[in-house]
Amino acid sequence: MSEAADAIAFENVTLALGGRAVLAGVSFAIRAREFVGMLGPNGAGKTTLMRAVLGLLRPQNGVIRVLGRPSTHGNPAIGYMPQIRSRVAGLRLSGWDFVAATWRGHRLGLPHLGRDGRREVAWALEMVGAQDLAHRPLAETSGGEQQRLLLAQALIGRPRLLLLDEPLISLDPHRQREVVALARSLQTELGIAVLFSAHEINPLLGAIDRVLYLGQGQAALGTVDEVITGPVLSRLYGAPIEVVRLGGRIFVMSDGHDMERDMHRHDTAHAGCHDPSHEIHHA
């Protein structure tokens, strides 16, 4: 498959933060029109990888290509949905204004929308089923409703690649399933690629085409059956891992602990503690 057919291609890429290699010599390719779930333990580099795709972090070594071209900051073909933050609900904006704020590169400023802008915002709200949120204050929306508005923001400009960074944090299982189903329907209907970061594999089962698992500076990309195995995850966690399949669910176990579930509980407790400089709603 040609480079132009790949949504994201890493060629021997090393990414470092504070002098520490987060990913080291990683190579993989995510195809156009593919829905890939990205998982890994804390600190494995999921958000770092997305920032590199957005052109916000330069690789120490290797080449990153996005839609067939070197990654660059401000690529309008990429839509980015950041991790939800508590301050979103406190903004004095309606759902419409919140989505409109990304029109033509505005960042939470209120642009004057012409006919094209109004049409684009209405389209994005319709695509995520959030028309009824247009005139509601953000303070009166639930976490799941805010996720829909963030996703609508990411659709402004009609990108060919969506990066969704931990959209399931703090949502109950029912809302998680809704978000995953919505992301899958958008990927299918719009014919785009989606990279969906999550803490655990189970909410993504049946929706993703492949899984990208990060750990110990490395990456494994393949089907769930190819990647979610004891040998592969033991290498990525740097510890003996047993994969247990039960009742249609998958449990990643080490010494009697569910590794993915334990990570989820830890990060949910600190869900509001993020670097605000990462709040980029659209590339």
pLDDT tens for each residue of 221-231: 999 999 999 99
User: What is the DSSP pairing of strand 35-39 with strand 193-197?
Assistant: parallel
d(CA 51, CA 33): 21
Share of the chain above pLDDT 70, in %: 84
HSE value, Cβ hemisphere, 13 Å, CA-based, for 101:
18
CATH class of 3-278: alpha beta
Place of tokens 């334990």: 262
pLDDT digits (tens, 9 = 90+) for 154-213: 999 999 999 999 999 888 999 999 999 999 999 999 999 999 999 999 999 999 999 999
pLDDT for res 46: 96
